[in-house]
Structure 1
Amino acid sequence: MGDAGAAARAARGDGAAAAGMRVFSPEYYALCAGGGMLAAGATHLAITPLDVLKVNMQVNPMKYSSIFAGLNVLVKEEGPSSLWRGWGGKFLGYGVQGGCSSASAQIIADVGLSPFESVKVRVQTQPMFAKGLIDGFPRVYATEGLSGFYRGLLPLWGRNLPFSMLMFSTFEHTVDFLYQKVIQKRKEDCSTIQQLGATCLAGYISGAVGTVVSNPADNIVSSLYNKKAENIIHAVKSIGLRNLFIRSLPIRITLVGPVITMQWFFYDTIKILTGLPTSGGLPRDLEELNV
């Protein structure tokens, strides 16, 4: 899920200040970070069952051949609770990432995410290895040391950096297009419903586009954390070039599109409730200068 971060979202469209809050002040960034953590953590928690299936499809594509067949196998063999394995890693890991921001700060954000991702993937695919974060962290450290938490950091950067840059760029261009060509109003002249509608549609499109670009690295991440491969080159060879792009892509689009949409929705709702403008689109004063 590559992911929506706080400070980068606030880079544009925040020309107005909330009542009693100065834009770009420490309080402003604290609000953005808190909103990013809540939006990212809550949305990733909600899609844990699909994430469990996605990781298992990447690690064992013959057994988990499709979305519906894979869900049936998991529930039949391991019970409904298996669909929620790794929920703690999803909520805390992506909460940390969402609070750190994306694109320019994604390198730092992924350093915080990597240990949670390492444990989460193992919990989701190796239930005998660990049941959750509490026993997962010491088990990874005992068997592999600190390197076990970061063996997938490079492909994690390879997944999340392109995803974030393309996602934010697509989001901004889509929002501008919607206001200029579809709604045909300035953002400040639109209702709250119209603004949140533009946010959600742009969020879904940007999430789908970013998913396609990041899919090869996501497959490599799962392979390395499950020790299906010893290094990136071995992972690429074992998965195959074609499968890097298509394996688990349908479920990732099914998963990431709604997640990014809800992250933007929650994030902009928090901004509206605190008096800040929604994301994307040039503020009126900057728009007039551009004209």
Structure 2
Amino acid sequence: MFSSFLTRAMCQNNTSSAPPKNETPQPQQMGMVQSLVAGRTIAAALTAPTPSEGDSCEFGSMHYFALCGLGGVLSCGITHTAVVPLDLVKCRIQVDPAKYKSVFNGFKVTLREDGARGLAKGWAPTFFGYSAQGLCKFGLYEVFKVFYSGLIGEENAFIYRTWLYLGASATAEFFADIALSPMEAAKVKIQTSPGYADTLRVAWPKIYQEEGLNGFYKSLVPLWMRQIPYTMMKFACFERTVELLYRYVVPKPRSECSKSEQLVVTFAAGYIAGVFCAIVSHPADTVVSKLNQEKGSTALEAAKKLGMAGLWKGLMPRIVMIGTLTALQWFIYDAFKVAMRMPRPPPPEMPESLKKRLQAEGKL
């Protein structure tokens, strides 16, 4: 079943069937895919391309999806680890607002009690957890985007492209959070429970001893509640913002922009998407922090204890953190694609078939 899914995801023709006896065999295009860029069919060459031949892999191939996953590991692992100090203060504001009254006060109290090294608490589970999440998030997003577009057809993939982005990103994040949850549980314990554990190798056995496997996955549902809306906004808002920036802001077509100019657009679109991501997912993020701090509590109990005002504590540092984080993630991911000479289709355009149909109906 899984191999069948991958075959459909890559839109590959079945090469096992022989041509009719009286029919001249036609050369096959291996790994043919229809990209989300309307009117473009991308087929792999029969031989592996050399560096001078342009792209290093075929769009929609297993090689392509694997590289996308690796780009996700780099973009998420590096960026989340880089903002651990801000994330630590944000989590502490969420679970103990009486002690950590603001971002600056949170840094001050943490430095006074734990020293500069205290700001790096939780870096190991952050790095490993979000690297695993990035692998699934970006890699599977590309898989499901191609797979769903193949299911609904080229015209519908353009007309309903926002829904396509939302659906592909939601499905990818569902699996990404399963990979993230154990490390997220350890990270929050280290950061918000003084004296519990200072390192991952101490926190993991302790969580398992006290709560069993449930200790690693008890916050999975609120994690889905936080991360799935976040990721849906992250990918759909980014894709549409890039489209709008090239249409209304950038003074020349994308094809005439240099790689550096394209990466600037990527960063800007990523930051805009990040601001919306932070707002949409913040209440669930607060519940996750509170839930992992307190043993035996449920998501509903944590939300009731926090109250409406408490659910929005730490929003401003999270907007700064997530905005910067999302922009850097997209920048690193796109820069990785450039460095690896991966196919980078331009924003989608209306398919010729749809254009002709709308013209015939007088709607264009």
Whether TM-score is above 0.5 comes out as yes
Superposition pairs of residues 203-214 of structure 1, within 5 angstroms? 203-214=270-281
Specify the alignment match of 1:34 in structure 2.
70
Specify the alignment match of 1:118 in structure 2.
185
Specify the alignment match of 1:106 in structure 2.
173
Specify the alignment match of 1:43 in structure 2.
79
Specify the alignment match of 1:197 in structure 2.
264
Specify the alignment match of 1:53 in structure 2.
89
Structure of larger gyration radius:
2
Specify the alignment match of 1:176 in structure 2.
243
Give the aligned residue type for 2:107: L
Give the aligned residue type for 1:93: G
Matched, 1:69 2:105: yes
Which of 311, 325, 332 in structure 2 is aligned with 1:259? 325
Matched, 1:234 2:301: yes
Q: Distance in 2 between matches of 1:84 and 1:170?
A: 31
Q: Tell me, which stretches of 5 or more residues in structure 1 are unaligned?
A: 1-6
1:35-69 residue CA offsets vs partner (Å, 9 max, x unmatched): 10011100111001001101111110111111111
Q: Distance in 2 between matches of 1:86 and 1:44?
A: 11
Q: Distance in 2 between matches of 1:206 and 1:186?
A: 22
Partner SS state of residue 98, structure 2: coil
Distance 1:132 1:78, change over 3 A: same
Specify the alignment match of 1:93 in structure 2.
129
Q: What's the offset of the Cα at 1:254?
A: 1.1
Partner SS state of residue 60, structure 2: coil
Give the aligned residue type for 1:90: T
Give the aligned residue type for 1:19: D
Q: Distance in 1 between matches of 2:345 and 2:214?
A: 38
Q: Distance in 2 between matches of 1:238 and 1:67?
A: 22
Structure 2 contact 125–184 (Cα < 8 Å) conserved: yes
Structure 2 contact 59–343 (Cα < 8 Å) conserved: no
Which of 253, 262, 268 in structure 1 is aligned with 2:334? 268
Partner SS state of residue 107, structure 2: helix
Q: What's the offset of the Cα at 1:12?
A: 5.1
Q: What's the offset of the Cα at 1:194?
A: 1.7
Q: What's the offset of the Cα at 1:242?
A: 2.9
Q: Distance in 1 between matches of 2:301 and 2:261?
A: 48
1:140-191 residue CA offsets vs partner (Å, 9 max, x unmatched): 0001110001111110000001111112111111111100001143322211
Q: What's the offset of the Cα at 1:21?
A: 1.3
Specify the alignment match of 2:141 in structure 1.
none
1:69-127 residue CA offsets vs partner (Å, 9 max, x unmatched): 11010001111101000001111100000000242221111011000000000011124
Structure 1 contact 220–235 (Cα < 8 Å) conserved: yes
Q: Distance in 2 between matches of 1:279 and 1:137?
A: 42
Structure 2 contact 190–197 (Cα < 8 Å) conserved: yes
Q: CA RMSD in A?
A: 2.1
Q: Which moved more, 1:224-233 or 1:161-170?
A: 224-233
Q: Distance in 2 between matches of 1:25 and 1:49?
A: 38
Give the aligned residue type for 2:109: V
Structure 2 contact 263–331 (Cα < 8 Å) conserved: yes
Q: What's the offset of the Cα at 1:280?
A: 6.4
Query: Normalization by structure 2: what TM-score?
Result: 0.72
Partner SS state of residue 214, structure 1: helix
Count of residue pairs brought into register by the alignment: 278
Partner SS state of residue 240, structure 1: helix
Which of 211, 216, 219 in structure 2 is aligned with 1:144? 211
User: Greater relative contact order: 1 or 2 (C-alpha under 8 angstroms, separation 6 or more)?
Assistant: 1
Distance 1:252 1:196, change over 3 A: same
Q: Tell me, which stretches of 5 or more residues in structure 2 are unaligned?
A: 1-8, 10-34, 45-53, 138-168, 356-364
Which of 347, 356, 363 in structure 2 is aligned with 1:281? 347
Partner SS state of residue 55, structure 2: coil
Give the aligned residue type for 1:25: S
Partner SS state of residue 290, structure 2: helix
1:226-274 residue CA offsets vs partner (Å, 9 max, x unmatched): 0177112211111002321x21100100111111111111110010112
Structure 2 contact 57–343 (Cα < 8 Å) conserved: no
Matched, 1:157 2:210: no
Q: Distance in 1 between matches of 2:118 and 2:346?
A: 38
